[in-house]
């Protein structure tokens, strides 16, 4: 019996000392926008070895027992993390390029981009098929049908706080019909597209049936202002503190 007690005492002496009651605080963090499970993984490196954390998934909340200075640090980390997803607008033009026609005037709707297209591709004529301004949030999917014939769909991968987005998968397809009038979708272009905010991107030529014609996508992505970007900091995680 003495040997067992000695081993138990030795084991306790090697572990971290518990937080004394007078040093500990309990704080409840309620997240508004992000999942509490993701937040728990984020804050673990900031916790003391003898701290405790309890997740309440129904309320999307976590209860943490730790020293006050640690809880203050965790509060700042969560405030920066628990923000609404970023929103973006995508101004997109779908252009048909042709080489099998005489050189003509570039469609007025393309504006100053006509000269840029001529420098990038060896086609004689560029005509606007359709254009649209689309909206989406990070993690969401955007889809639009151009001129009732071409469909563009892409997912906005989480962007963090930088100026780079990844649209993946980025799929352009065309609605076709058989001789019997049956419709089917034919993929034209599939890729993962990196995008820089506020910079015009020419996605490249997506060839149609013949090599003398192509589709070109012109895309400009911009970030939308967050509704709570200015104000009293309503995006912050709510906290409640009490002494144990």
pLDDT (tens digit per residue) in 142-170: 999 999 999 999 999 977 678 999 999 99
Q: What's the number of domains the chain is made of?
A: 2
49 is in which domain, residue-wise? Answer: 18-84
- Statement to judge: residues 54 and 144 lie in one domain: no
pLDDT in tens, 63-93: 999 999 999 999 999 998 898 889 999 999 9
* Percent with pLDDT over 70 in the chain: 73
SS3 134: strand
* 91 and 210 together in one domain: yes
DSSP E strand boundaries for the chain: 25-30, 52-56, 61-66, 87-98, 125-137, 141-146, 150-156, 164-177, 183-196, 201-207, 213-224, 238-242
**Quick one: pLDDT band at residue 140, thresholds 50, 70, 90?**
very high
Q: Which DSSP category does 82 fall into?
A: S
| Residue 13 confidence (pLDDT) | 29
Residues 73 and 108 in one domain: no
pLDDT above 70: residue 52: yes
pLDDT in tens, 203-223: 875 555 456 788 899 999 999
Q: Are residues 35 and 101 in the same domain?
A: no
Query: Do 214 and 160 share a structural domain?
Result: yes
Statement to judge: residues 60 and 97 lie in one domain: no
Per-residue confidence band for 57, with pLDDT thresholds at 50, 70 and 90: very high
């Amino acid at each position: 019996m003495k040997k067992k007690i000695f081993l138990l005492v030795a084991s306790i002496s090697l572990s971290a000392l518990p937080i004394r009651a007078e040093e500990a605080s309990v704080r409840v963090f309620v997240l508004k926008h992000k999942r509490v499970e993701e937040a728990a993984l984020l804050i673990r490196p900031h916790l003391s070895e003898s701290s405790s954390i309890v997740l309440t998934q129904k309320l999307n909340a976590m209860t943490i027992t730790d020293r006050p200075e640690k809880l203050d640090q965790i509060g700042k980390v969560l405030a920066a993390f628990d923000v609404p997803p970023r929103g973006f607008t995508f101004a997109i033009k779908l252009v048909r390029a042709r080489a099998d026609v005489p050189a003509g005037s570039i469609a007025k709707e393309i504006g100053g981009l006509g000269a840029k297209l001529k420098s990038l591709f060896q086609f004689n004529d560029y005509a606007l098929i359709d254009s649209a301004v689309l909206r989406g949030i990070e993690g969401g999917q955007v889809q639009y049908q151009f001129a009732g014939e071409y469909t563009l769909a892409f997912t906005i991968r989480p962007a963090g706080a930088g100026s780079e987005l990844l649209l993946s998968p980025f799929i352009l397809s065309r609605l076709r019909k058989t001789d019997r009038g049956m419709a089917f979708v034919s993929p034209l272009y599939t890729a993962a597209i990196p995008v820089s905010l506020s910079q015009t991107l020419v996605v490249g030529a997506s060839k149609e049936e013949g090599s003398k014609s192509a589709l070109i996508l012109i895309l400009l992505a911009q970030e939308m202002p967050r509704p709570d970007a200015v104000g009293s900091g309503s995006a912050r995680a709510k906290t409640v503190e009490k002494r144990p």
